[in-house]
Structure 1
Amino acid sequence: MITTTELSTTPPAAKGWYQHLYVQVLVAIVAGVLLGHFAPATGEAMKPLGDAFIKLVKMIIAPVIFLTIVSGIAGMRDLAAVGRVAGKAFAYFLFFSTLALIVGLVVANVVQPGAGLNIDPASLDTSKVSDFAAKAHETTLTGFLVGIIPDTFLSALTEGNILQTLFVAVLFGIGLAIVGERAERVTTALEQVSLVVFKVVAILMKAAPIGAFGAMAFTIGKYGVGTLANLAMLVGTFYLTSILFVVVVLGLVARWAGFSIFSLIAYLKAELLLVLGTSSSESALPSLIEKMERAGCPKSVVGLVVPTGYSFNLDGTNIYMTLAALFIAQACNVDLTLGQQLLLLGVAMLSSKGAAGVTGAGFITLAATLSIVPSVPVAGMALILGVDRFMSECRSLTNFIGNAVATIVVARWEGRLDSEQLRRALAGEATPVDQLSADAVPAA
């Protein structure tokens, strides 16, 4: 086991500004936008770069989650504490996910972004949304719960399903905790393997600018910046609502937990730019796990809260669902009563869990919700298909920040947050623990 006394006290050499990951990703995003705008066909052709990078990251997500959770639970030994952390995490997720749905509902009623469009649902081309509707019908709450159980122990690690990996990792971690000292060698071996896996993550992160460039060039090349003009009211309302949710709601939560939401955003700037460039919060999941540990959150809390949050704490997706649903209703001149809106809210609470982890989950979840609430025409989804890609970036960013805040809050709620280490991390001050982490994982 490596201890802090074995670490060098020599501070790491300062990097040039161009060597920082967030600078490289930002430059790549700008280059992608320019290429997509001035050479759309070439921009579309860059799609494989973004897809390949996301596949690289997804390849390593299951091992990262498995090793983090197993070593965290095995180190706790107190199984009651594991259940307590999980219970607090889900209580937090339920409250703030519901609050996000309510915020979207209220904003849609106040701003009414779809009013005045006077769209006839029969005139819409629904061929492009039929696939999403079909997937929504296939995704039920029961199917989702049963799907958490993998076909085999190892398939959870090979099929890329986050919740299946979480399920197996929790079971294995509990098994190690029960066996106790006799499993010490296994626990130590897994901790050593985790150092290697995070080193692999560091290698993969070097390709982040290429992935962000390809994804952004494709998005702008295919849909064009001008696509936003037609539905600017909806997109603008969604972005503004998400920003206010992060700054006001999550900002107040952060203040209660003893840190600044702006300091946290600055701390995660490289990961947020990566999420922006790829429109996928999964692309930054391994780095989020590492950075939350570096910020004073215990591994056991990080291992439970972050992976489950990726499926159950989707603040951005929930804001989008109620806002988009009411936008479609307003655009199609469908007047929803308060009772119908509350029904929509209740269905969205369930469907947002049933479609978790599915590619394009936000759009599929919306389809699932509208198919259960017949008052709003599913055909109206064709209205927002063209700009959904732009809104997916905001969904991913909001979800990502929400999960980072949740991790710190649950750690503090448990009384296990190292406040001094959190302060130093958010202030950008190096610590011996940080130097160890920086040697094993990407320094952003």
Structure 2
Amino acid sequence: MNFKDLQLIEPIEKAIAEQGYTSPTPIQQQAIPEVLKGKDLIGCAQTGTGKTAAFSIPILQNLTLKNTHHRNIKALILTPTRELAIQIEENIKAYSKYLSLKHLVIFGGVKQGAQEAALKKGVDILVATPGRLLDFIAQGVVTLKQLEVFVLDEADRMLDMGFVHDVKRVVKLLPPKRQTLLFSATMPEEIQKLANSMLYNPVKVEVAPVSSTAETINQSIYFVEREDKLELLTHLLKEQIQDSVLVFARTKHGADKIARKLQKSKISAEAIHGNKSQNARQNALNNFKTAKTRVLVATDIAARGIDIDELKYVINFELSDVSETYVHRIGRTGRAGAEGSSISFVDGLDLINLKNTEKLIGKKIPVIKDHPYHTDNLVVQKRDSNNKIAPAGQEKKATNPRNKNKKTAKRIKPEIGFKKAKNAAFSKKK
């Protein structure tokens, strides 16, 4: 199948052809015809499967064919992160190159003046993050009374980031008669309940998680103790790798710590994560793209929307608990047939994730022993219920606050009983 088989209008066909699109991805093949028919839809698909085009192309076509010239918000796309919102709007800009529809992205972390001015001029398609959208609605800058299509993207990520209540607030403000599209990589119970409350008789399309890595990416594993990871990273950047490197960290704090360590070692580095202001994140990304900064340290959420041509190296400082994330991370390199390299540091906490990752991609990743921090003695570790590190099998021995209370209660009861008995005896004497 190619895009011509989807019966798209000529301006959209021309625009996507200029983007190099020839054959639709599985999610696009399944979703585009249903969205064109105006049906509600649940799409289960990972980031990187082409779902932005799966919902934005048919929305653009349907709005164009209705030929309404009033500049009010007809389509709202709600997404959890600023980077992803920017990326979606950039894609819409490319697909609508030969259309007269107006689009805008709004997000927090920047002054609202420019966004507010653009909204007042009139917008057909609005891409937004929940916080800034609700701010503008409260101020009367945004109204959703004329909305025809609502897209909730990355619904499970909304749940992870604590935005579900904001989403529910937005949904209450939408016209009851509308087309609703929900996309999520996974469908936990709370997301399913949300979908049931939002959608009417939806079509469900599902795409298997991305599980293959490009042959052009040279993958390797470095076994290293957790406390030696920063030293190993510094060693590689000084002794072996001369190019720009994208480093993935598990947490915001971890990303900052890595960047500070590299800066102290005279290696230009910046961190990018959700606690940074939008301006700081954009500046860090631009500095990395223009090679002013050699190393960009990113969390997975902040890295969504990062698209850098000719990136040769990706380093996983820690492996993610979600195996598919590995595929998306290393997919930042080795693009368009170019060669790239991914290096993953593996300590005791990463051993289980490594096993799951290799199972997903269907191959063993070669281990590099030729480095000063190699170890053959890693012990499998997990995090216990208190999020502290414990050897495998010891997690249940971690202190449970409820058990602690029970023990305390047992100690206290005899003491209370003794006091009562003593008081009673004293009373009798009296």
Normalising by the smaller structure, the TM-score range is under 0.3
The TM-score normalised by the length of structure 2 is 0.22
CA radius of gyration, larger in: 2
The structure whose RCO (Cα within 8 Å, separation 6+) is larger is 1
* Larger proportion of strand: 2
Higher helix share: 1
